[in-house]
Amino acid sequence: MTADRLAAEESAGGSIVDVALTVNGRSAPVRVEARRTLSDVLREDVGLTGTHLGCEHGVCGACTVLIDGQPARSCLLLAAQVDGAEITTIEGLAEPDGTLHPIQQAMMQAHGFQCAFCAPGFLMSAVALLADNPQPTRSEIREELAGNLCRCTGYQSIVDGVEIAVRRMNGDSSGGSS
């Protein structure tokens, strides 16, 4: 089936490329259309559907992943552009034994999301924020997460969740009560 797809692409004048990705620490080589975005490769070729696609033109932030540790919109990149890169997706946040990342635990505690379609993007953006700035203020959190859209919550519970994660990751094991 993939072979048929790639043959059709070639007859339509599109290039086929070999892309060597490392996704969540595992090697994931793929042969895909050059026009295929990283988000589609992650979901359709690598089989990791945790990365969500909302707008597919860089507005909603749902598809945010880490590329060599830096946050990026996977819908605004061709997979071919990141040949050789290390990608971290939402599936890579928890420990191998299933222990959730502190930001995931904090979001549960804060009831951060409702439908959670936007959750993968918010979580990856929050992980990137806390890597750059381990103790952001509430306004810094709001500003950094402005690149992600949520249509359920009004954002307060999401910002609350990040604040809980900040406290936990800075040594307050109670994580606060908000």
Partner 1 sequence: MKPAPFTYHRPETLDDALDLLATHGDDAKVLAGGQSLIPLMALRMGRPGHVVDIGRIAGLDSITVGADGDVTIGALVRHEQTRTSTDVATHAPLIATAMPWVAHRAIRSRGTVLGSIAHGDPAAEMPAVVLATEPTLIARSSSGVREIAAADFFHGYLDTALRADEILTEVRFPAWSPNAVGAVVEVARRHGDYALVGMAAMLTVDGDTISSAALAYFGAASTAIRVPDAEQALVGATVSADTFDAAAAIVSAELSPPPDIHASAAYRRHLAGVLTVRGLSAATAEIGADA
Q: What residues make contact with partner 1 under the rule CB under 8 A?
A: 9, 12-15, 17, 33-35, 37, 40, 55-58, 61, 64, 67, 70-73, 75-78, 80-81, 125, 128-129, 143-144, 146-147
Nearer to partner 1, 44 or 91 (CB): 44
- List phi, psi (to 5°) of 64: -60, 130
Taking the complex as a whole, how short is the minimal distance between the CB of residue 91 and partner 1, in angstroms?
18
Instruction: Name the residue nearer to partner 1 (CB basis): 144 or 163.
Output: 144
CB of 146 to partner 1, least distance (A): 4
C-beta closer to partner 1: residue 142 or 169: 142
Q: Which residues contact 29 (CB under 8 A, 6 or more apart)?
A: 18, 19, 20, 21
Nearer to partner 1, 26 or 57 (CB): 57
For residue 67, the cross-strand partners are: 70, 87
How near is the Cβ of 50 to partner 1 at its closest, in Å?
Answer: 17
Looking at the Cβ atoms of 147 and 176, the one nearer to partner 1 is 147
Least separation in angstroms between residue 21's CB and partner 1 is 15
Q: For residue 98, is it left (φ>0), alpha (ψ between -120 and 50) or beta?
A: left
What is the b/e burial string over 51-76, where b = at least 16 CB atoms within 10 angstroms of the residue's CB?
Answer: bbbbeeeeebbbbbbbbeeebbbbbe
The DSSP code for 78 is B
What's the min distance (Å) between Cβ of 153 and partner 1?
Answer: 16
Q: In this structure, which amino acid lies at residue 154?
A: G
Q: Exposed, middle or buried, 86 (CB in 10 Å: 0-12/13-18/19+)?
A: middle
